[in-house]
Amino acid sequence: MIKNITFIVPLLILSCNSSHAFVTSLHSSQGRSLGLFATPSSDAISTLDASQKMSVSSIISAIPELAHKPDLSWNDGAAQIANFPATLAAYDAPGKGNVAWMCDLCVSSTVSSLTIFNGPLTTVPHLLSRCCVLNNGNDLSFDLDLRPRAYGAYEMVDAAGNYPGPETLGRQAFEYSGARKDFQSNFYTDEFESFVQNTLASLQGATMNTGMDGLSETEQLTRGPLAVSVTMPLTVGNVAAVAAARERAASYWLGWALDVDAHGHRPGAPVNTQYVYDTKFKLNAYGALLNTYNTILGPNDGATLAAAESGPLDEGYVGGGS
């Protein structure tokens, strides 16, 4: 059970499938109303989409260079996935905005997803924030990951949390260890680790989807060491906890993205190296997403949604000021 709820959940805006909404009131343990909330059904995605759009609005307000890309977006009623209406708003921010791709996606009754790929000017993590309704509306899968921007051999971690050393990888072990230490000191701080742990603790009946060994190669190469990937019963409390966690993660990302002095690359070779890594990463991320959506939606709708959400795979340098 979720007790002593202290986060604030936005008033429900039924932006997906609102004609079928049936809502109830949720209160915290202190008796304060947390606003209208969708019952555990198809309307959970509407709740999550409303929360997601608040995060997107905050990001757009804070990064004025973000520009809507109508040719890569789906307006209301323009697309259907698995016979449900789908909306997709795509953005990028060349130059100092440094956002190569931002995708705000909602498939009514099925998927709510926010994806952000950064440009090569900073080391700020990419953001993956996705929820999918599964098992005829009984379960909710939740994936949340702020993804490293340099290769740290994260997929090689063993069950005890240890990584291969120079006896296995030679001199590269020091390079990978350095990348992990830099990422942890800048982003995966004690505060952020506590946020991840508290998020997992707030989810009622959640089970881990799979360990690193059970992932495809592309998923192993893109997943961060503190990624959340769980499935849980679709309850009002779980939807509230997931919405709060997604908002907090987007807020973390935005704070880092705005702190260019702390997380910016020096001009020249570091930017070029980041661009090369990001281009390969984005291809691998597409492969991982394709596998996920094919499993949930089937090969036709899965391929359509994965391609649309991933954006152009040849535009890794958007955000680089070129």
Distance CA(308)–CA(99), nearest Å, equals 17
**What is the pLDDT, as a whole number, of residue 260?**
93
Does the structure show a pLDDT above 60 at 27? no
pLDDT number for residue 26:
43
- On whether the CB atoms of residues 46 and 36 are closer than 8 A, the answer is no
List the structure tokens of 170.
């030679």
pLDDT at 160 over 80: yes
* Range scoring the smallest mean pLDDT among 15-29, 100-114, 198-212, 225-239: 15-29
Among 17-21, 35-39, 92-96, 120-124, which stretch is predicted with the lowest mean pLDDT?
17-21
Other CB atoms within 10 A of residue 302 CB = 20
Q: Give residue 95's pLDDT.
A: 85
Q: Which residues make Cβ contacts (< 8 Å) with residue 219, sequence separation at least 6?
A: 288, 291
Q: Specify whether the CB–CB gap between 256 and 178 falls below 8 A.
A: no
pLDDT at position 42 is 67
Please report the pLDDT score of residue 78 as a whole number: 84
**pLDDT score of 211:** 79
- Tell me the domains of the chain and their CATH numbers: 18-148+189-310 (3.40.1500.20)
Q: Which residues pair with 116 in a beta bridge?
A: 102, 127
The mean pLDDT value for 316-322 works out to 48
pLDDT at 281: 97
Question: 185 falls in which pLDDT band (50, 70, 90)?
Answer: very high
Q: Tell me: pLDDT of 1 over 90.
A: no
Contact by Cβ (8 Å): 230, 200 = yes
Q: pTM score, two decimals?
A: 0.86
